Structure 1
Amino acid sequence: MNHAVSRLRAERLARSLKPFLARGSRAPRCQGCRVIPSHCLCQWRPRVPSQAAVCLLMHDVEPMKPSNTGWLIADVVACTSAFAWSRVEVDPALLSLLDDPQWQPYVVFPGEFVEPSRVTERVELPPGKRPLFILLDATWTEARKMFRKSPYLERFPVLSLAPEQLSRYTLRRSKRDDHFCTAEVAAMCLELAGDALAAQALDAYLDVFSTHYLAAKYQMPIDENDPAHLQLKPYL
């Protein structure tokens, strides 16, 4: 696997002074999906087109966490970029991406924490532009700090999502059910942008990933005919 998140993970591991060990597991993991080989889900990676792009700003160790769902976004959305966030320096490639005239960037963040004049709940594109969704991939506490300390994002509109459903993500839990994992947020953005096929595929892929991850954790077999796998099959 050689997409933006896997490359960022490799770069982060190369800088690490000691091995990164996933919580509760020292077992070898598939390099393509980060699940132990007996529960590998590489063959379940969807193949769907999308017009939108995603830019992941990832907090320090997020690329190395096996439960990170930014990886799933990069699997599904071909135009996915991933950058390590830093308070003191900004990757020039990130600034070049944000200045690329083909994109209309949107910072995805709750509107209640933002100046109202910047907030929108719709994706409205100027002629000739495609949406670029900037996602802060971090814990909620970290994401709030990243938002405040990234002045280069201040010129862009903030897309505030108002989902009716609760989060389905079970691998890491927030204290609030209205906090969504990064892949869930990306799927909602794709839906708003008219990329319904990619949104549905990403949602289904997240469910299968969670199924494989938890089955591996508890040493349970995989049922490839369960509802999650059947929902994903049309997108393979």
Structure 2
Amino acid sequence: MALPPEQQHAVHRLYQYRKSISTKPFAARGKKLIRCQWCLLGEIFCTCQHRQYINTEAHFMLVMYDDEVLKPTNSGRLIADLVPNTSAYLWSRTEPNKQMIEAINDPKYQPMLIFPEQYAQEGQMVVSHPSQCDNAATGKIPLLILLDGSWRQAIKMFRKSPYLHRLPLFSFSPETLANYELRKGSHDFQLSTAEVAALALEAIDEPLNSKALSSWFNLFVESSLLGRNRRLKEDIIPIESYIQQFEQAMLNAADASVTLC
């Protein structure tokens, strides 16, 4: 499916850039599968036509580890699929992206790094809601920053990026994580970037937007597994069911947005 430029988001553009500077093709798992160049799912399971934006106050920033953006299993792109104000940058230890730093320092934003509180540096604020930040009363836009990579890579990015150490850590309570685990469907993905973003949306009082992103993630997971052709027939739920669940979640989120207006 061809996407016009106006429908291409930050992760699409970063993907194209990262691919252009690669010295050799990225050998993804299932590399023989013919993939959509935008969602990176198998062409017959492409979800691009179902993409819709949610109405949210939050902005997201993805700081992506090297070739993470090239991986078909990366779920950070799902955030950009639904959240219109999503930016994406490649992480660099020695030369942080200037636009990224400018956004973090922009006075219109209240930047928060979503990361576990046990990694907080000395004196670093830990919050569970934007209202707990020092500048909350000024009406700043929440800028939710996610380190996108494996857990080991995320820790490395955090520890070697001093500019992140002065930001509030947006951390979820054990109760929130426990409740989330109870609601999770069974799949072979670990807690992903998109799932963390869904938790963040719920934590900032946008539960229906959180549900929409979770449903979009579930569709992504099922489409990925079907593309691998490793599912037993009796385990397969028709893909249309996941599409319907996502579309209903989007309708609920849209209705709530209209009601609030």
TM-score normalised by L of structure 1: 0.90
The answer to whether the Cα contact below 8 Å between 2:58 and 2:141 also exists between their aligned partners in 1 is: yes
CA distances 1:56-102 after superposition (whole Å, capped 9, x unpaired): 00001110000100000000110100000011111110011111121
What's the secondary structure of 2:157's corresponding residue? helix
Counterpart Cα distance in 1 of 2:106 and 2:207: 25
Alignment of 1:141 onto 2:157: no
Which of 117, 128, 147 lines up with 1:121 in the alignment? 128
Q: Which has the higher helix share?
A: 2
- C-alpha deviation, 1:126, in angstroms: 2.8
What's the secondary structure of 1:86's corresponding residue? coil
Counterpart Cα distance in 1 of 2:74 and 2:83: 16
Which protein shows a greater Rg? 2
2:25 is matched by which residue type in structure 1? P
- C-alpha deviation, 1:122, in angstroms: 2.1
The answer to whether the Cα contact below 8 Å between 1:136 and 1:143 also exists between their aligned partners in 2 is: yes
Equivalent in the alignment of 2:244? 230
Counterpart Cα distance in 2 of 1:10 and 1:229: 27
The answer to whether the Cα contact below 8 Å between 1:169 and 1:181 also exists between their aligned partners in 2 is: no
Structure 2 unaligned residues grouped into runs of 5+:
252-261
The answer to whether the Cα contact below 8 Å between 1:109 and 1:158 also exists between their aligned partners in 2 is: yes
Which of 213, 221, 229 lines up with 1:210 in the alignment? 221
Distance 1:127 1:168, change over 3 A: farther
- C-alpha deviation, 1:207, in angstroms: 0.3
The answer to whether the Cα contact below 8 Å between 2:38 and 2:48 also exists between their aligned partners in 1 is: yes
TM-score normalised by L of structure 2: 0.81
The answer to whether the Cα contact below 8 Å between 1:51 and 1:195 also exists between their aligned partners in 2 is: no
The answer to whether the Cα contact below 8 Å between 1:44 and 1:205 also exists between their aligned partners in 2 is: no
| 162-171 or 183-192, larger mean C-alpha shift | 162-171
Distance 1:86 1:170, change over 3 A: farther
Distance 1:10 1:160, change over 3 A: same
Counterpart Cα distance in 2 of 1:53 and 1:26: 36
Q: How does 1:172-211 map to 2 (within 5 A)?
A: 172-173=189-190, 180-211=191-222
Distance 1:7 1:83, change over 3 A: same
Equivalent in the alignment of 2:163? 152
Structure 1 unaligned residues grouped into runs of 5+:
174-179
Identity score, percent = 38
Counterpart Cα distance in 1 of 2:141 and 2:185: 29
- C-alpha deviation, 1:222, in angstroms: 7.2
What RMSD, in angstroms, separates the aligned Cα atoms of the two structures? 2.0
Alignment of 1:68 onto 2:74: yes
Alignment of 1:132 onto 2:143: yes
Equivalent residue pairs, number: 229
What's the secondary structure of 2:212's corresponding residue? helix
Higher RCO by CA contacts (8 Å cutoff, separation 6 or greater): 1
